[in-house]
Chains A and B, each alone.
Chain A
Amino acid sequence: MTLLGLAATNLQKDLRLEWRSRDTLNALGFFALLVVVIFSFSFDPSAEESRRIAGGIFWVSFVFAALVALNQSWARELRNQVLDAYRVSGAPPASLFMGKAFGNFLFVALIEALVSPLFVIFYNLRAIGSLWMLAAVFLLGTWALVINGTFFAALCARTRSREMMLPLLLLPISLPAVLAMVEATTAILTGESSPGMWIKLLTGYDIVFTTASLLLFETVLNSE
């Protein structure tokens, strides 16, 4: 089996488990909804203002929602010593990591697709810039969150009080990505500046950290 084949098998397993329990999607979706509602209470902006702040509020909500999902993503593997079984098996660790990352990406992206319409309703949003660009920012931004998130969730799974550790490690590293997502989204919503530079930055960030995660995952998996 190739690396991608093994990754696909891992992804399939995660998706099937998720389909049967729907734990992650329910928790993640409800949490994202709550964050949207709370932000809507806290800020009651006019249409013009809301276009300016929506990018920030949107991504802050999804950073927190993604943390909830990422924290859970390795829990199943830990409970039944799946990770140890995986270390004994001949399959390359990168395939396990890729399967996990794709799974998390699908979950977070799905929730974003479901919750974004609510943002549009609550904030009376209408994008002035290109919607295709917005889609690109969403895909790249979500991948940026998820790739490092999956890596650091695996890293934190090896520490004490792992649930607390993930945001502490993930947020500092993700700062430039969050800045790029927010600025690009705001640029598209207001139509005042071009988001091209930020999209390039996000692409660079994704490439650098996807490579680093794939190279270092084996080290983290085998750390003992």
Chain B
Amino acid sequence: MRPLIVLFVVVTLALLGFGFYQGMYAAPTEQTMGDIQRIFYYHVPSAWTAFILFFVNFVASIWYLMKRRTTTDALALASAEVGVVFCTIVLITGPLWAKPVWGIWWTWDARLTTTLVLWLIYVSYLILRRFSDSQQTPTLAAALAIFGFLDVPIVYMSIRWWRTQHPQPVIGGAPGSGLDPSMKFALYSNFVAFMAMAALIMWFRYRLAVKEQRLEEEHRARTLRSQLREVR
């Protein structure tokens, strides 16, 4: 197992380096926004990675409620935690990019607001995990994860309606429409690099969670055994 992980770490670092080169040097400079636009190569891949991880969390939560395997719960925990980290990167790089380009830090646009609400929901998920007893945590957290996932499309629709009713506060500088092929390549190579990085961190977090669960079980069994001995 160990050489495989080392290989994976090396590959991930190489991918990140390649993505950095593509995004910072190889991709052409955007005409109106200039070099600031290059934050795009970190902002968008982080967003995609976060959304994929939250989806993994949703699937793992349902899977856990069906099969009740503790390893599935460890996967749910790892994907939620790493997802929150990437979602935080999105929420930090977004305003950093918006301020010089749009002139404002924040706008209540559908995608921004949905990402923020998604972040809030998964932070509340992590708080719930922290505040419940270890035996109940997986079930309660899985229930919340399903509620949160159901909420996301409703949030997206509601914000779209909300903002179509009011005038847009900014002139949309939406990229993604008619992207230069070299920009696309830089975007995708960064996406692959970020997914590899997320998978790597998630793997470590997953291993840690499984070990924690085993320790917890061992501890519980020991307490039970000593109690039994006292009874006898």
Interface size on A, residues (CB 8 A): 32
Chain B residues, Cβ within 8 Å of A31 = none
**A197:B161 contact, CB within 8 angstroms:** yes
At the interface, yes or no: A219 with Cβ under 8 Å from chain B? yes
Chain A residues, Cβ within 8 Å of B157 = 176, 201
At the interface, yes or no: B120 with Cβ under 8 Å from chain A? yes
At the interface, yes or no: B39 with Cβ under 8 Å from chain A? no
Known: A219-B139, A220-B140, A224-B136. A148 touches B147 (CB 8 A): yes
> Which candidate, B48-56, B121-129, B211-219, is the interface stretch facing chain A?
B121-129
**A179:B162 contact, CB within 8 angstroms:** yes
Chain B residues, Cβ within 8 Å of A164 = 131
Question: Within residues 135 to 176 of chain A, which ones have a CB less than 8 A from any CB in chain B?
Answer: 148, 151, 155, 158-161, 164-165, 168-169, 172-173, 175-176
Known: A172-B120, A173-B151. A160 touches B127 (CB 8 A): no
Nearest-Cβ distance from residue B67 to partner chain A, whole angstroms: 13
At the interface, yes or no: B221 with Cβ under 8 Å from chain A? no
At the interface, yes or no: B230 with Cβ under 8 Å from chain A? no
A residues touching B (Cβ–Cβ < 8 Å)?
148, 151, 155, 158-161, 164-165, 168-169, 172-173, 175-176, 179-180, 183, 193, 197-198, 201, 204-205, 208-209, 212, 216, 219-220, 223-224
B residues touching A (Cβ–Cβ < 8 Å)?
65, 117, 120-121, 123-124, 127-128, 131-133, 135-136, 139-140, 142-144, 146-148, 150-151, 154-155, 157-159, 161-162, 165
